[in-house]
Amino acid sequence: MKRLLLSSLFVCALAAAPAYAALQAGAKAPDFQAQASLGGKEFTFKLKDALKKGPVVVYFYPAAFTKGCTLEAHAFAEATDEFKKYNTTVIGVSADKIDVLNKFSVSECGSKFAVAADADKSIMKAYDSVLANRTEIAARNSFVISPKGEVLYSYSDMNPTDHVANTMAIVKKFKETKGKMS
């Protein structure tokens, strides 16, 4: 009985623990392309093309128009001009349909950065960003990808508060070290 109770407590503790993105610094970032929206206008986002301009912040969020995702979108929108100073592209990814993202990209992202539709969850799976206990939505994970396609940084926390500051710090460090981060 004691063993069963301890096992149950251990499983519950694991379920309550924050999920950490499997793609860690140094890993090859999976290439992808997806239907995206910027300012309500649809286009095909291609990671390979965005990396030609500089680093890319790929952030996954559970669902458009939810409280945390709206806060995070506003924060990324406010920081977009600073990201651009570092030649950095920001792309948000969720399982939302493109018609929802057309609206979200205008109202919550302020037409500042693109959001991509991942209806089949292939990008979320490639980045190990599927929420463990709700596999129909993304976990809140952020990645900074170098122009060479390498993960410079990954961060996983369902609280949206630190994603922008953390990714910005890595982008600045990348610029300061001229891309030679250890």
- Chain segment 64-102, per-residue pLDDT in tens: 999 999 999 999 999 999 999 999 999 999 999 999 999
- How does residue 24 score in pLDDT terms, banded at 50, 70 and 90? confident
> Could you tell me what percent of the chain has a pLDDT over 70?
87
Local confidence band at 21 (pLDDT 50, 70, 90 cut-offs)? low
pLDDT for 159 equals: 96
Q: In order of start, what are the domains of the chain with their CATH numbers?
A: 22-176 (3.40.30.10)
Question: At residue 15, does pLDDT exceed 50?
Answer: no
Q: Is 132 exposed, middle or buried (0-12, 13-18, 19+ CB in 10 A)?
A: exposed
Indicate the pLDDT class of residue 11, thresholds 50, 70 and 90.
very low
Please give the single-letter amino acid code of residue 38: L
pTM for the full predicted model: 0.87
Element (H, E) at 145: strand 141-145
What does the pLDDT look like over 127-169, one tens digit per residue? Answer: 999 999 999 999 999 999 999 999 999 999 999 999 999 999 9
The answer to whether 31 touches 48, Cβ cutoff 8 Å, is yes
